[in-house]
Amino acid sequence: MRKIRLVNIVGTRPNFIKIAPFRQELKRRKNFEEILIHTGQHYSLNMSDYFIEELEIGEINYWLGVGPGTQMKQIGKIMVGLEKLLPKLDPDIVVVVGDVNSTMASALVVARLGLRLAHIEAGLRSFVKTMPEEQNRVIVDHFSDLLFTHSAEADQNLIREGIPPDRIFNVGNIMIDTLILTRSKWQASRILEKLGVQPKSYAVCTLHRSENVDNPETFAELLRILDAVQRIIPVVFPIHPRSKMRIDTLGLKKLVERSSNLILIEPLGYFDFMKLTENSAFVLTDSGGIQEETSFLSLPCLTLRDETERPVTVNLGTNIVVGRDKKRVLAEVNKILNGKAKKGSIPPLWDGKTSKRIADIIEEKVGC
């Protein structure tokens, strides 16, 4: 019996975090021939190479190198590159992760070529159709043959959309696999000493979503919220390139400069960021993955959005969706600092074994 030829496609920082444990699992098995394609959607050193090296992702077999450009240009370049490459590779199945543009562009090409597609992190829904990530999720899920979800809520989202239940598999959260597998390494990080901060004496902030940083009024509102929070506790802000650019182009630099306890730093590698996060008092974010990581770590998370596609982090975890309401944010911050933070539990199957479950299912369903 020949090996299953499986192609993994990645393009961004969150993709690397999710694909790392799955690729390691495939390497332990003798019946997979795995090929990794990197689209190059994240192309800067600290947004890409650091994660590849730290997470021991290994050799990138093919690099599309799409580089900078508008979303449409990146999507187009990815599709053209994959249209040429995938027929040559002739995979038994293509695996994509998450909800970024690389994921969606890959799914479209795979579908047009008549190949089988698996989606890791399927079924997430914010129910905001204007959100690019939501558009990507829906498209990818409806083209997928195997849909790997992280919660029962995600299963139900897919079933409501008419996707057959026999294509849906609740396997747990693959990001937690990475967190558990690398725990000893990221706990050894010296980032706190480098920044001169003590455990639980600071908060962490991340902002990158277009609805938060592309609109000058919205971004200014969020920076005013951060200004109010940093008056209570220092806020470390590893700033995404998109957010940094917007501060300059939208004329918000003075608003940032007046916040003396808002500590802007360059984006961090995975190990430094996880160490910084685990030792913070709480996190302010618009990131989906961080909502999950903080729930696993039992760390308070305040989500600066009006909704979340990860309600399990609210229903079971430590996440609170606060929107851009300064009064509510400050009220929750004060609760946290006064020892009254929301308590949570770890969702089912978030146990570090998701990659094994996915590989088992692919072996069963795609075995040659």
Average pLDDT value for residue range 301-321: 97
Confidence of residue 43 (pLDDT cuts 50, 70, 90): low
Confidence at residue 198, expressed as pLDDT on a 0 to 100 scale: 98
Confidence at residue 173, expressed as pLDDT on a 0 to 100 scale: 98
Judged against a pLDDT cut of 80, whether residue 112 lies above it is answered with yes
Confidence at residue 243, expressed as pLDDT on a 0 to 100 scale: 85
Distance CA 9, CA 31 (A): 19
Average pLDDT value for residue range 212-216: 87
Confidence of residue 244 (pLDDT cuts 50, 70, 90): confident
Helix (H) or strand (E) holding 6: strand 4-10
Confidence of residue 44 (pLDDT cuts 50, 70, 90): low
Judged against a pLDDT cut of 80, whether residue 1 lies above it is answered with no
Confidence at residue 30, expressed as pLDDT on a 0 to 100 scale: 94
Confidence at residue 282, expressed as pLDDT on a 0 to 100 scale: 98
> At 233, which amino acid appears?
I
Residues 294 and 204 sit within 8 Å (Cβ to Cβ): no
Confidence at residue 46, expressed as pLDDT on a 0 to 100 scale: 53
Contacts from 191-199 at CB under 8 Å and sequence distance 24+?
A: 191/268, 191/272, 191/273, 191/275, 191/276, 192/275, 192/276, 192/279, 195/236, 195/263, 195/265, 195/276, 197/234, 197/236, 199/279
More confident residue, 59 or 42: 59
Task: Choose the catalytic residue: 38, 42, 142, 208.
Answer: 208
Judged against a pLDDT cut of 80, whether residue 135 lies above it is answered with yes
Confidence at residue 248, expressed as pLDDT on a 0 to 100 scale: 84
Confidence at residue 48, expressed as pLDDT on a 0 to 100 scale: 62
Tokens 């609805």, residue located: 211
Percent of residues, the chain, with pLDDT higher than 90? 83
Judged against a pLDDT cut of 70, whether residue 368 lies above it is answered with no
Confidence at residue 205, expressed as pLDDT on a 0 to 100 scale: 97
Judged against a pLDDT cut of 60, whether residue 45 lies above it is answered with no
**Domains of the chain by start residue, with CATH:** 4-172+350-366 (3.40.50.2000), 185-337 (3.40.50.2000)
Average model confidence (pLDDT) for the chain? 94
208: annotated active-site residue: yes
Judged against a pLDDT cut of 90, whether residue 70 lies above it is answered with no
Judged against a pLDDT cut of 80, whether residue 87 lies above it is answered with yes
With the C-alpha atoms ordered 206, 212, 216, 217, is the resulting torsion angle positive or negative? Answer: negative
Judged against a pLDDT cut of 90, whether residue 2 lies above it is answered with no
More confident residue, 245 or 91: 91
Average pLDDT value for residue range 283-304: 97
